[in-house]
């Protein structure tokens, strides 16, 4: 019989996320990765052509700017899904902690050439 999976404490896992805009993977299910990231400042405009991207805010706040629709302001505890194909960029005034859910191997910039390497923590 396989061992049961261990629980992941999101708060303590954020202690291992040190670089801004460099997501770290903490779990996987059904081909999706659960990633944690710290954000501050303006991230690059990017698009995930074939997949939605879920943002959940642990601490702080973030504005998700989109080229073809109004921006969405998220506070701690808020969740928002950017639909596939929508060009967007997160903008953060003060540092925030974000949880992302997206298919495994999805580059954080939407472009493999410019994506940061994602590690498991």
Domains of the chain and any CATH numbers: 10-116 (2.60.120.10)
pLDDT at 95: 96
pLDDT-based confidence at 120, cuts 50/70/90? Answer: confident
CA 38, CA 67: separation in Å to the nearest integer? 23
Comparison of pLDDT for 83 and 105, the residue scoring more: 83
pLDDT-based confidence at 26, cuts 50/70/90? Answer: very high
pLDDT tens digits along 49-85? 999 999 999 999 999 999 999 999 999 999 999 999 9
- Phi-psi map region of 21: left, alpha, beta (phi>0 left; psi -120 to 50 alpha): left
Residue 28 has a CB neighbour count (10 Å cut-off) of 11
Share of the chain above pLDDT 70, in %: 89
């Amino acid at each position: 019989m396989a061992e049961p999976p261990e629980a992941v404490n999101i708060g303590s896992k954020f202690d291992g996320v040190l670089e801004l805009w460099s997501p770290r993977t903490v779990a996987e299910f059904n081909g999706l990765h659960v990633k944690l990231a710290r954000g501050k400042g303006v991230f690059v405009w990017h698009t995930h052509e074939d997949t939605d991207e879920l943002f959940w805010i642990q601490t702080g706040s973030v504005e998700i700017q989109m080229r073809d629709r109004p921006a969405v302001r998220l506070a701690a505890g808020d969740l928002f899904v950017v639909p596939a194909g929508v060009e967007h960029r997160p903008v953060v005034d003060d540092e925030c902690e974000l949880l992302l859910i997206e298919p495994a191997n999805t580059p954080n910039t939407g472009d493999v050439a410019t994506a940061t390497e994602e590690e498991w923590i």
